[in-house]
């Protein structure tokens, strides 16, 4: 087993631009009035596409190569739903329906990752942006009073580093490649 420094916890995600992140943060602060809990910092808000987990750092190149084989879509996401997961104490925002373009992106990413030998958990994909943790919430979904349009032009590979202040994320690669 490699030393911790030689390993990385990574995932693919949609990362909002500043304006979308601010709108999501506004939805989060409204939700906080109702559900309390811990607000995610605006710069950490994201939508996970495929969670790879902890891997040897040397495999990051394989992940980048897998990302290179995925067609970069343009998607207009309608963030119209506020969801609650009671057991996880999470409140999130997302689209009511994932939509074919997003599902197709997730499926091609998963297929390329499996092709590259990455073992992925086959959980059903529920597109969501976590807004609150440790929230005093229930289960269920509500329509957002002010839905948000999120123009997606690409996706990212991110490393998650656990910190005392909550998760710290570092973007390792972006698609389209820059």
Footprint on this chain of ligand ATP (rule: CB under 6 A): 9, 11, 48, 51, 121, 123, 130, 160, 162, 167
Q: Which of these, 56, 9, 55, lies nearest to 169 by C-alpha position?
A: 9
Work out how close the CB of 178 gets to ligand ATP at its nearest, in angstroms, rounded to a whole number: 22
Angstrom distance (rounded) from CA 22 to CA 20: 5
Give first-to-last CA distance, the chain, whole Å. 33
Phi, psi angles (nearest 5°) of residue 75: -130, 135
Of the two residues 139 and 163, which places its CB atom closer to ligand ATP in the complex? Answer: 163
In angstroms, the CA 55 to CA 118 distance is: 9
In whole angstroms, give the CA distance from residue 79 to residue 101. Answer: 15
DSSP 31: H
Nearest 5 degrees, angle CA 133-CA 7-CA 60? 95
**Least Å from the CB of residue 162 to ligand ATP:** 5
11 or 35: CB nearest ligand ATP: 11
Q: Least distance from C-beta 172 to ligand ATP, angstroms?
A: 13
d(CA 24, CA 113): 29
Quote the least distance from Cβ 83 to ligand ATP, whole Å. 13
Residue 9 or 32 with smaller CB distance to ligand ATP: 9
Residue 104 CB, shortest distance to ligand ATP, in Å, is: 18
Nearer to ligand ATP, 126 or 146 (CB): 126
* Nearer residue to ligand ATP within complex by CB, 127 or 148: 127
């Amino acid at each position: 087993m490699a030393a911790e420094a030689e390993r990385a916890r990574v995932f693919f995600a949609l990362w909002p631009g500043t304006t979308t992140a601010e709108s999501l943060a506004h939805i989060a602060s409204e939700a906080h009035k109702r559900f309390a809990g811990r607000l995610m910092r605006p710069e950490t808000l994201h939508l996970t596409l495929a969670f790879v987990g902890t891997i040897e750092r040397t495999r990051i190149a394989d992940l980048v190569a897998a990302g290179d084989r995925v067609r970069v879509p343009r998607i207009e996401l309608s963030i119209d739903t506020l969801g609650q997961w009671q057991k996880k104490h999470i409140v999130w925002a997302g689209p009511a329906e994932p939509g074919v373009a997003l599902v197709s992106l997730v499926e091609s990413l998963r297929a390329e990752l499996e092709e590259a030998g990455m073992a992925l958990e086959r959980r059903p994909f529920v597109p969501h942006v976590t807004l609150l943790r440790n929230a005093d919430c229930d289960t269920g979904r509500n329509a957002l009073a002010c839905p948000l349009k999120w123009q997606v032009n690409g996706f990212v590979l991110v490393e998650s580093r656990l910190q005392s202040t909550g998760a710290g994320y570092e973007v390792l690669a972006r698609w389209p490649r820059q």
